[in-house]
């Protein structure tokens, strides 16, 4: 059972809740799909936690906020830039080095893990619709691609006839990833959901049954938001945590 976690965004409370839920559900492997930091108030803690999991075999890939926090020049809006400037000051050299070491993609059998689109992953394209999903699916031979970046859960597949189908997964409902089709799962966000549901979002992949289930995990959003405000980060980042937008 593989736990898939994207867009943690330095949210200690959300990550703690998701990891506890995944452990309770018997996850034995973990994949972190980028953007460990940015926006939230606990970047160092989150990076240390993921470093610990990676040391024990977890997969982690680079997100655009991770790259920016490690010192790369990444185009971002003003709010994100303010958060990254603050984040850089919170991270140790070891933590920045870990972020800088993360690969853009990771392959596992017929699966590909990437933060944004598999099409030019270093350009951070968003998978927002059928056209961008097809671009991502077409950029890799993988049968299953898993990504984040969008902060809204979605699932796409290409049928045997080449038709692309998109749908919004229902939390808690297992979805069979049927053989003969090519799949792209957008995981939603652990640390900053934007689908108007503030509960943290992650997914579990049952690789023995070839099924995926998206899960929503309530956590202490008030505490996470308060820590953002106390850190002097932009207030909109706290409001997003509370309201899920």
pLDDT number for residue 180: 87
pLDDT number for residue 91: 98
pLDDT number for residue 219: 98
* Total domains present in the chain: 1
| Number of other residues whose CB lies within 10 A of the CB of residue 154 | 21
Q: What are the pLDDT tens digits along the chain (245 aa)?
A: 999 999 999 999 999 999 999 999 999 999 999 999 999 999 999 999 999 999 999 999 999 999 999 999 999 999 999 999 999 999 999 999 999 999 999 999 899 999 999 999 999 999 999 999 999 999 999 999 999 999 999 999 998 889 999 999 999 999 999 988 999 999 999 999 999 999 999 999 999 999 999 999 999 999 999 999 999 999 999 999 999 99
pLDDT number for residue 109: 87
CATH of the domain at 158: 3.60.21.10
Interatomic CA distance for residues 60 and 114, integer angstroms: 9
pLDDT number for residue 220: 98
Using alpha carbons, select from 15, 120, 12 the residue that is nearest to residue 58: 15
Interatomic CA distance for residues 27 and 29, integer angstroms: 6
pLDDT number for residue 164: 96
Interatomic CA distance for residues 235 and 108, integer angstroms: 39
The two structure tokens encoding residue 195: 């689908």
| Residue 147 belongs to domain spanning | 2-243
pTM of the model: 0.97
pLDDT tens digit sequence for 104-121 = 999 998 999 999 999 999
Pair type for strands 2-5 and 29-32? parallel
Residues 6+ apart with CB under 8 A from 52: none
pLDDT number for residue 160: 85
């Amino acid at each position: 059972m593989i736990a898939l976690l994207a867009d943690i965004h330095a949210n200690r409370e959300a990550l703690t809740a998701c990891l506890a839920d995944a452990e309770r559900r018997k996850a034995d492997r973990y994949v972190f799909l980028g953007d460990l930091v940015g926006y939230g108030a606990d970047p160092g803690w989150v990076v240390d936690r993921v470093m610990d999991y990676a040391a024990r075999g977890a997969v982690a890939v680079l997100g655009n906020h991770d790259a920016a926090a490690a010192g790369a020049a990444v185009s971002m809006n003003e709010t994100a830039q303010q958060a990254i400037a603050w984040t850089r000051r919170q991270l140790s050299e070891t933590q920045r080095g870990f972020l800088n070491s993360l690969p853009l993609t990771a392959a596992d059998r017929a699966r590909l893990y990437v933060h944004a689109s598999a099409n030019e992953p270093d350009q951070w394209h968003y998978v927002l619709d059928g056209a961008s999903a097809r671009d991502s699916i077409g950029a890799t031979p993988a049968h299953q691609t898993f990504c984040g970046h969008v902060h809204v859960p979605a699932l796409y597949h290409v049928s045997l006839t080449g038709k692309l189908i998109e749908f919004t997964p229902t939390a808690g409902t297992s979805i069979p990833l049927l053989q003969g089709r090519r799949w792209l799962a957008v995981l939603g966000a652990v640390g900053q959901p934007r689908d108007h549901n503030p509960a943290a979002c992650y997914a579990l992949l049952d690789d023995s049954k070839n099924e995926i289930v998206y899960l929503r995990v309530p956590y202490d959003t008030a505490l996470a938001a308060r820590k953002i405000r106390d850190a002097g980060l932009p207030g909109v980042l706290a409001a997003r945590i509370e309201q899920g937008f």
